[in-house]
Amino acid sequence: MKKVDMNLLKNCANNLMFEMKEEEYKTLLGEFDILLKQMDVFKDIEGLNEVTPMTFPFDCHNSYLREDEPSNPLTKEEVLKNAKEVLDDQIVLPKVVL
């Protein structure tokens, strides 16, 4: 495991374009020390290497989605017939960004 030191933190902060005070680096370094000590506990767990890592804690099934079946697309005239305002065969929408 790579050692986390002040130079590594400063390099990472620089790469991420963070500006941090020296005391913030010291606090972060202390937090990493605690985290790494907690991670050391995992190596003592028997059979941990045989467990498949989870990417998400729940089984997800999207049974409510329909099958994607190709169909005939709408013609330009069908698309434009219900539009409030059309200009040069395009639907005119209100401006939403100031």
**pLDDT tens string 13-66:** 999 998 999 999 999 999 999 999 998 888 888 988 898 888 888 887 777 778
Domain membership flag for residue 70: no
Residue 89: which residues within 8 A CB-CB, separation 6 or more? Answer: 76, 80
Rounded CA separation 5/28 (Å): 10
Residue 18: which residues within 8 A CB-CB, separation 6 or more? Answer: none
What is residue 47's DSSP assignment? T
Domains contained in the chain, number:
1
| Residue 1 pLDDT | 58
Of 78, 83, 80, the residue nearest 93 (C-alpha): 83
Domain membership flag for residue 36: yes
| Residue 92 pLDDT | 94
pTM, two decimals, is 0.47
Give tens-digit pLDDT for 83-92.
999 999 999 9
Domain membership flag for residue 50: no
Domain membership flag for residue 16: yes
Domain membership flag for residue 1: no
Range of the domain at 28: 6-45
